[in-house]
Structure 1
């Protein structure tokens, strides 16, 4: 597996290109991601959204049009792609596949699981590929996603954090903002955030 990452836009949202068996998966193409993605892919097969916030999906529509690849988004957040609920001027896109909570999808023979961790948004998911999570705005190094936005749910976030604490294996976390970390490392600080919410 090869992972390329580039922070995009004013919020420095991490866009990832994940290459498995020569197939490129684009994770969270944010503001201005299109040209970087095109320059760094050779065989794009899908766009994967961890959740529907504008800074993670801004380039969905343009990339779908130019690369002719489908968009996979957690079903709880597909409305955000279409309706621009935060009035940011986000180009409208449509999920080709609305992924159900904890569903494993097979794309070009590659399996990945959309682990559902609602709270930051209704559909927030960590995309598990092998021993890696692309966790969007669920977990960051030393922190968690905000729960004070429209459509956020602090109670759901607490349950999601408790679920993460019980996850049985260590995985490397590639978050939507900031540096990589591991679930084992974050389990040392998650209890603080459960109490703080």
Structure 2
């Protein structure tokens, strides 16, 4: 797999293009991502959202229209794409496919697995392709996503972190912000974060 990365917008949200067997998957196209995406795809297949926050989905509609692509988003976060609950002026986008929970998809012969880790948002998920996790705002290098936003849940975050601790195998993590890391590296610090979240709720 070839992975292209470009931080976008005021929050430097990582937009990814994952190319598998010559097929391009656009992951979390944030603020002003369209030009970069158009310049870096050759055979685009789909747009994949890890969750619904505006800085990860801002360019969904524009890229969807220009490239005539299907849009995939976790079902529980679709209201963020359609209703702009944080009042950021996010362009409205309508998913073509609602991902429910832990769901494995096959898109043009490529297996794409969503793993549902709610807490940061109700639908918050990672996107697994092979041995890579596009972890959105769930796990970062030495950190985790915030659980104090509207629609966030500290209780759900604790359960998600405990679920992540149980997953075996090593995955390379490409987060929504910052540098890449590995699941094994983050499993060493997840117990600290579980304790921090529990103390706050």
TM-score normalised according to structure 2 size: 0.97
- The answer to whether 1:74 aligns with 2:77 is no
Alignment of 1:33-52 (within 5 A): 33-52=33-52
Secondary structure of 2:194's counterpart equals helix
2: CA distance between counterparts of 1:196 and 1:4? 33
2: CA distance between counterparts of 1:14 and 1:139? 13
Alignment of 1:126-145 (within 5 A): 126-145=126-145
2:106 is matched with which residue?
Answer: 106
1: CA distance between counterparts of 2:78 and 2:105? 16
2:21 is matched with which residue?
Answer: 21
- Post-superposition offset of 1:168: 1.1
User: Over the residues paired in the alignment, what is the CA RMSD in angstroms?
Assistant: 0.4
- Post-superposition offset of 1:4: 0.1
1:12 is matched with which residue?
Answer: 12
1: CA distance between counterparts of 2:73 and 2:153? 19
TM-score normalised according to structure 1 size: 0.99
- Post-superposition offset of 1:176: 0.1
1:61 is matched with which residue?
Answer: 61
Q: Deviation per CA, 1:61-87, whole angstroms, max 9, x where unpaired?
A: 000000000000011101111010000
**Off by >2 Å, runs of 4+ in structure 1:** none
- Post-superposition offset of 1:112: 1.0
Specify every segment of 5 or more residues in structure 1 that has no aligned partner in the other structure, as ranges: none
- The answer to whether 1:166 aligns with 2:130 is no
Secondary structure of 2:51's counterpart equals coil
Residues paired across the two proteins, number: 197
2: CA distance between counterparts of 1:149 and 1:75? 18
1: CA distance between counterparts of 2:181 and 2:51? 19
1: CA distance between counterparts of 2:76 and 2:106? 20
Q: Deviation per CA, 1:85-136, whole angstroms, max 9, x where unpaired?
A: 0000000001100001001011111111100000000000010100000010
Secondary structure of 1:72's counterpart equals strand
- Post-superposition offset of 1:194: 0.1
